[in-house]
Structures are given as structure tokens and as C-alpha cells.
Copies of this chain bind each other. A is one copy, B any other.
């Protein structure tokens, strides 16, 4: 479905980096969910660049909701959210030759759209479009919260430095959701920032791993064979620019375990069936088992770097050298984290409503 995703709860996105606006249509969300504008604005702020480790372009992510909300609550019909593009310097782009930025989609967009694409700032492929995902996903997060389901993401690793693992997941999610640079161990956070600044000083960039936990999600959700929880989540997560890997629970770490270690043994505790460990990330056979859902993504280093790079002019089809100017992040992982939270919230809403119906997320009157 190209720019639309979801079955019962659906999101359609649109927009280009240097066009008039970006935005999203969020459809299928239950009626009666209160819209907390401050929360949405706060989530957008987490995605916005800030300080030394982010681009100095000031993106004004003022969103407007044009439909689907009545008297401050969702009405059940499509919610249209638009975020106008401001602070544009399109003249940066007008006369430049068509140099394909390595690691970006400039060239593949050209292959696909035959030169008609809006290439300015990456166009539709810009990370900017994820602001629409955050706006829509924040409404999904509000819907989940009403049902006692919370989502949180931390920078599990950045430039090779690792944060501590999730411990008390409910608390950790809470803590993370109050943070701008979402690392559970504050000393580790400082070390990561140092690494990012070092890369920046060398005209280079870094990547890392984002790990997400979903707490309070019911068991028995997921549609095998093809629409497993893992399939649906990975489909959405791989849409986020810079994501090059997705793993559930211990993921690739399980490949060096024995079965006796990788299997999560079951046990009855307080009348409830739980697993003693959670190496499978809360999902067996594509269906949730009632444990926290845990997964992580590989975020590649920001492809925009100041170091000169070899590339091609794809109009002239000749070799060239690229020296990027303008504003570029040495890391986007701390910003991508709220995108991952938001995308997760959307998918979880969809899975719940496929399973339990379209009224499931409606608050008690």
C-alpha cells in the first residue's frame, strides 16, 4: 500500500522535505480518545534537533489537526494532521548538479521517478517526514495509555557504547518517556554524547541500536502465518529511514545460544502463566505471550557527513566529488527514538483492533 500502512488502524503519510507541508492521515482509531495537544507537541520536540549534537536547522513542527477530532476527542473518522514546512532554504538546491549523496536515496529515487522527483533535501525520503509519523503515533500512544499499555525506547548502543538493559520495564519506560536523550544510565549517556561530538569534530557521524519495550500488552494477539507481531512491526520499522536491522528479544544474540538457553521456560506465578526469561521478546509463533514485547533496531550512521566523498553526477553519468555544506546531524539516533516509539504505538493499536474490534481502544464513557 505504498504510503499507507495498517489493516484496522491505518496511517497514510505524505510530504517532502522542502515542499509546502508534511503530514499524515490516521484512520480507524476508535472514537472518544482525548487529544492531548501538549503531549503530541512534546513528542515532536523530542524528534526536533537541539544543541551541539544535532543540526542547527530550527524545524518548527507546529501541527494542525484538520479533521477527525470533535470537541477535543477523536470522532472515529480519519484524523488529518498537517505540519507546514517553514525555515526552508531551497535556494541551496536549485543550481547544484545532481550529485548522489552516498547512503541516501537520491539515486534510487531518480531510478524510480525518472528525474521528476522532488530531490530537494531528499524530498519524500527525508527524515523530516518522520515528524508526521510522530504526530500520528502520539495519538496512537494516547489510545494505548487509556488501556494501560505503554511504550518506551532507549538508545541501547551508540557508537559502540552500550546502555544498561531494561530492568523494571514499567518504570524504565516511564523514565525514558521523560527524557530527551533516552539512555537509562546517565554516565553512559555522557560517554555517548562525547563520541557523537568527536565524530562531529571529524566531519563524520555515528549510529547505534534502539531498543523498545511495550508494557501491558495482552496475550493472544497477532495473526499468523504472515501477519505475526514480528512481521507487522518489522514492516513498519524498516520504513523508518536509517533502520537496517530489526530483532526481537535477544535476536541475533540467540544465534550463538543453545536451545536450552534460548527457550523461555514457562511458570505459573500468582495464577498467571509467565516466562522466567524473555529472550523471545514476548512473542512465540508470532503471537504475544503476555510478557513485555521487546525488540531493537539497527540505526546506521547518518549518511550526511562533511568529509568529502566519491560519488556520481547521475544526470551527466560521470564521477564526481561531494562536499556537503549546510546543516547535518552527526547522529540521529536520539531523535529517531521517538519515531520508533510512535511507529510502535501505531502497529500495536492496529494489532489490537484487528484482534478485538474497532471499539477496543474507545475509553469507558
Q: Closest approach, in angstroms, between the C-beta of A87 and any C-beta of chain B?
A: 17
- Nearest-CB residue, chain B, relative to A99: B266
**Interchain CA distance A248-B311 in the complex, whole Å:** 22
**Interchain CA distance A160-B130 in the complex, whole Å:** 37
Instruction: Give a binary string over A253-267; 1 marks a CB under 8 Å from any B CB, 0 the rest.
Output: 011111111111111
Chain B residues near A300 (CB-CB < 8 A): 254-255, 257, 262, 280
Chain B residues near A20 (CB-CB < 8 A): 64-67
Chain B residues near A222 (CB-CB < 8 A): 108, 112
- Nearest-CB residue, chain B, relative to A77: B124
Interface: A325 (CB within 8 A): no
Is there contact, CB below 8 Å, between A10 and B2?
yes
Is there contact, CB below 8 Å, between B246 and A234?
yes
Is there contact, CB below 8 Å, between B3 and A25?
yes
**Interchain CA distance A27-B284 in the complex, whole Å:** 20
Interface residues in A111-133 (C-beta closer than 8 Å to B): 111-118, 123-125, 129
- Contact flag A107-B298 (CB < 8 Å), given A117-B31, A357-B356: no
Is there contact, CB below 8 Å, between B67 and A113?
no
Interface: A204 (CB within 8 A): yes
**Interchain CA distance A228-B5 in the complex, whole Å:** 12
Chain B residues near A301 (CB-CB < 8 A): 254, 257-259, 261-263
Instruction: Given A2-B223, A105-B285, A108-B222, output 7 extra A-B contacts at Cβ < 8 Å.
Output: A2-B27, A16-B70, A19-B67, A66-B82, A105-B287, A245-B245, A262-B300
Q: List 17 A-B contacts (CB under 8 A).
A: A2-B226, A3-B27, A4-B10, A5-B226, A14-B80, A20-B67, A28-B223, A75-B116, A77-B118, A107-B289, A108-B219, A124-B225, A244-B250, A258-B305, A267-B312, A271-B317, A280-B300
